[in-house]
Structure 1
Amino acid sequence: MQNRRSFITNVAGLAAASYLPGAFAQSAPAGESTFARIKRTKVLRIGGVRGQAPYYNKDLASGEWVGFMIDFAKNLAASLNVKLEVLETTWGNSVLDLQTRKIDVFFGLNPTPARRETVGFSEPLFNNAFTIVSKKGFAPKTWEELNKPEVKIGVDIGSSHDAMISRVCPKATIVRLEKADDATLALQTGRVDVQVLVWLLALNVLKKNPSLGTMIVPMPLEATSTNIGVPKEDDKAWLEYINKWIVQERAAGKVKSTVLENLQKLSGVRPEDVPPQIPL
């Protein structure tokens, strides 16, 4: 026989559930794969990083997300015929959000060995070449010309910029700062001679502050891949779908056009501003 206390507890639990629409219907079955969850809920959840145009940006007034990573996500959601839901995150928290299944996908992750231990990665969406923003009057043509103790190079610590320049220019004086903006300020104030940035960010920085210096693509070309992060799981159906989608997008020329359109719309960078030696 049910006593008074257990009866009240059960009623309270049912009442609470009534305020959570779909609480029972939407609860994920044990061991459900990411792809199965997307098909069941008809929702694709991605991470978005505020203030990172042209990659991501959120309009404070309207709440609308824009940027080429958002456009890529919209195209992926459309191919699945599902709704897109953008959950705000940071570059640093995106891996944890994938691990905990808070999001289904994150656009713009570089597959470092450490990250591969915890999340899955797609094939490259596009390659992002490394460049330098150099102070006026200093125009090195090769990475080897930077590989000297007297050359001061600014980078954001722990980034792909940091990893690349540490490998390519170990003899240079590398000034590691907390954020890319700090490295830009160091260049502006003369604390460093150059700042290492992938070409997308370099063009964006110089469009905002043309007097900062000059963008140079040192040879030989050094690049990092821009990939899509997914939860790490035994079922590879979701990853396989994404890889097939990437092949189709690239074949149709949509990857290049999406990046260039957003660069012009959000940063004022024209297609002709992109150096011809940079692949995309």
Structure 2
Amino acid sequence: MTITILRRAALAATLPFLLAAAPPSPPPAPVAPEAFGDEFDGKALSADWQIFHDRYGWPNKLKALDVGTSTAGALHLEPYHGAWVRDLNAPFLFKTVEGDFDIRARVRMRGKDGPIAGGTWSLGGLMARLPNGMTEKNWEPRRENWHFITAGVGHEAGKPMIETKGTYNSYSSLKLRPFPGGWVELRLVRVGTALFALARPDGGGPWQLRDRFYRMEMNPFMQVGLIAYTTSPDVPPAPEDAAKENRTLDTTAKVDALFEVDWVRGQRPPSVGLDYWKAPRSDGARQWYAQVNGENPLTDPNLPAAEVIRRLGI
């Protein structure tokens, strides 16, 4: 009896350490673009969404997240102070997609009491990010590679904008252009090594090509999904320290940014006749070169915007 009690006591003392050492659950499998969609008509996120801070151990910089509660039939996100720029990270909900994709979303970035988010750099939209395997524990600088298109306000308060941004090894290059506020439709399309950012006002109408990116990237997998971020006037300007800022959660700094997503939908873009991602390894060099020498017509920087949109489809 005494031995049994001692064994049970030893097991009870050991169990927390065993549980702590258990490996994390594997991430959901990549999804096809056709299976990417979510109408957000329930009361919770579906299990195939991953949340960046949960997956990689960063602080939760979401003040609020709900489905169908704050806004009927929509995903509702409220970010704390943060940003997606250079090495900085912020809220990101994503699914891993393999190969070419055409992902679209109907979104709105607003303030608590008005149609335009308060402050500056309050934006939300679609991002496609290359996974780099880093977590909070093994993080190192100059490893971020992603592209996005967002709606909200940028450097000038009260002025609705579309922002597009490309980041290469944590060097960010952005464009801000005026665009009507309220609900808008955003779109990210990847075809081989060409990636396009498009937008249109709510209610349909023609798509506008807002940016085009070319990255000679052999990894077929990208994390595609929704981002939202804002800055607070309570946080004074200071030299950027990503290692510190990414690990800092300021819940007291005032923010006024509410990001809503009515739906996201996915499909495969039209083929350009080059199956870049499914080439055998022995043919990888030729497929890479085909992207460089113009066999993928969408990599031509002189292709008129109207022709890009025609080839990508409505």
TM-score range (shorter-chain normalised) is under 0.3
Q: TM-score, length-normalised on structure 1? A: 0.25
Q: Normalized per residue, which structure has more helix?
A: 1
Q: TM-score, length-normalised on structure 2? A: 0.23
